[in-house]
Structure formats: C-alpha cells, structure tokens
C-alpha cells in the first residue's frame, strides 16, 4: 500500500517535495538528500504527513 508524504527541509523547514512510499516495506521515516530552493543547496529532507 503506497501512501503520499511530504518531504520537509531540515534546515529551513519548508515543505518542498511531494512523493509516495510503500508503507509495508519502509515503515520508518524517510530521510533523503534533496535540493532546497530557499537554501540554494542540497540538504537533508525528512518525511512529514
């Protein structure tokens, strides 16, 4: 079962990306390195609902 999630920047707090994940295979929160347009650099983005 896939659920929709938002990815939030850990530095500035803005929600930049919408994505989905399979909750059965990845029950823990996702942490991904993505580009943040506010910070203008690659930062760690964490999963939010």
The structural domains of the chain, ordered by start, are 1-46 (2.20.28.120)
Question: Phi/psi of residue 8, each to 5°?
Answer: -110, 135
Distance of CA 42 to the CA centre of its chain: 12
Is residue 2 within 8 Å of residue 20, measured between CB atoms?
A: yes
What's this model's pTM, rounded to 2 decimal places?
A: 0.85
Residue owning tokens 């530095």: 11
The pLDDT of residue 11 is above 90? yes
Average the pLDDT over 17-36 and give the result. Answer: 94
Q: How far apart are the first and last CA of the chain?
A: 16
Percent of the chain past pLDDT 70, that is, above it, reads: 100
């Amino acid at each position: 079962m896939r659920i929709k999630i938002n990815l939030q920047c850990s530095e500035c707090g803005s929600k930049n990306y919408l994505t989905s994940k399979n909750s059965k295979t990845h029950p823990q929160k996702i942490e991904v390195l993505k580009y943040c347009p506010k910070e203008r650099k690659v930062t760690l983005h964490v999963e939010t609902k």
